[in-house]
């Protein structure tokens, strides 16, 4: 079933569509929660995702319909942002690391100022909580190529350079920064689908240079570009959830019983053959 048919099927209550949706995207969303909400254990993350699924269906699927539908990755970037908003309610600022200044938009912009785009991406994702090994998979380069950018983290944010596991040091503060970035849209900000085209090598040099030049100067578009690279990585690296682990996530969703299940119920109730 294609991505667009899956979304349409979910709105229609198709069990098959919901099984495909949950199977494909649960592993991706749980990995993302592990980075941005590291205090959540596995059960906490499952509950956050279940709550997110229910909210997607509320008010006749209003939130689900608000996401970008041009491509699967564009949709998942919006799904990721939505889920981070859901988990933000559980983030306690008191639990943020206090050994370094909180990474506010002003501080982060200062750290990124004047760097090439790939260096900005490395620094930004290191501050978000990614280890070198995962970052190499996301960007398809070794983080060491951005040495001049990483050196800027040494004075106050050296702890981000030493992490061997994924997980942000300032979940609440980073969520505040993300909200600031998402709200800071201007008329010059291109739609995410154009960055998808860049990632897929479908743009000419001039268009690619223009888009990347904008992202270097715009925290909102840098974050969107980083998120696109991030979800592309997790789609590639995660394995769909097996069938025997899906039912718990379908609980509370508007899923219709399939025809075979309805027929089986009728047979049990009325003894039909």
DSSP for 18-31? HHHHHHHHHHHHHH
Prediction pTM value:
0.92
DSSP character at residue 70: S
Q: Which residues contact 16 (CB under 8 A, 6 or more apart)?
A: 1, 9, 258
Phi, psi of 113 (to 5 degrees): -55, 125
CA 98 to chain centre: 26
Number of other CB atoms surrounding residue 182 within 10 Å: 15
The residue to which tokens 């990755």 are assigned: 73
The answer to whether 123 and 150 have CB atoms below 8 angstroms apart is yes
Question: What's the pLDDT at 35?
Answer: 97
- Tokens for 81, please give them: 């942002």
Other CB atoms within 10 Å distance of the CB of residue 125: 22
| Domain ranges within the chain, ordered by starting residue | 3-250
Question: Residue 30 contacts by C-beta under 8 Å, 6 or more apart in sequence?
Answer: 42, 45, 46, 49
**Sequence-separated (6 or more) residues with CB below 8 Å from residue 12:** 256
- Helix, strand and coil content of the chain, in percent to the nearest 5, comes to 70, 0, 30
- For 240, the token pair is 């769909």
Mean pLDDT by 10 residues, the chain (273 residues): 90 95 97 96 96 96 90 96 94 90 95 96 97 96 93 94 93 96 95 95 94 96 98 97 93 79 46 52
């Amino acid at each position: 079933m294609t991505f667009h048919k899956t979304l349409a099927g979910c709105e229609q209550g198709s069990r098959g569509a919901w099984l495909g949706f949950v199977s494909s995207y649960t592993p991706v969303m749980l990995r993302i929660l592990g980075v941005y909400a590291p205090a959540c254990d596995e059960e906490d993350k499952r509950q956050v995702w279940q709550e997110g699924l229910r909210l997607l269906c509320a008010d006749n699927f209003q939130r689900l319909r608000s996401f970008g539908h041009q491509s699967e990755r564009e949709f998942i970037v919006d799904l990721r942002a939505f889920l981070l908003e859901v988990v933000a309610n559980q983030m306690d600022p008191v639990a943020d690391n206090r050994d370094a200044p909180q990474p506010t938009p002003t501080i982060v912009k200062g750290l990124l100022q004047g760097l090439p785009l790939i260096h900005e991406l490395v620094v930004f994702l290191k501050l978000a909580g990614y280890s070198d090994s995962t970052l190499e998979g996301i960007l398809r380069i070794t983080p060491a190529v951005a040495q001049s950018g990483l050196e800027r983290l040494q004075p106050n944010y050296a702890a981000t350079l030493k992490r061997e596991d994924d997980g942000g040091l300032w979940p609440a503060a980073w969520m505040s920064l993300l909200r600031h970035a998402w709200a800071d849209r201007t008329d010059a900000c291109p739609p995410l689908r154009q960055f998808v085209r860049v990632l897929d090598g479908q743009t000419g040099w001039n268009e690619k240079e223009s888009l990347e030049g904008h992202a270097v100067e715009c925290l909102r578009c840098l974050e969107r570009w980083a998120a696109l690279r991030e979800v592309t990585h997790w789609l590639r690296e995660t394995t769909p959830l097996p069938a025997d682990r899906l039912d718990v996530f379908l609980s509370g969703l508007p899923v219709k019983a399939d025809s075979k299940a309805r027929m089986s119920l009728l047979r049990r109730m009325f003894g039909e053959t």
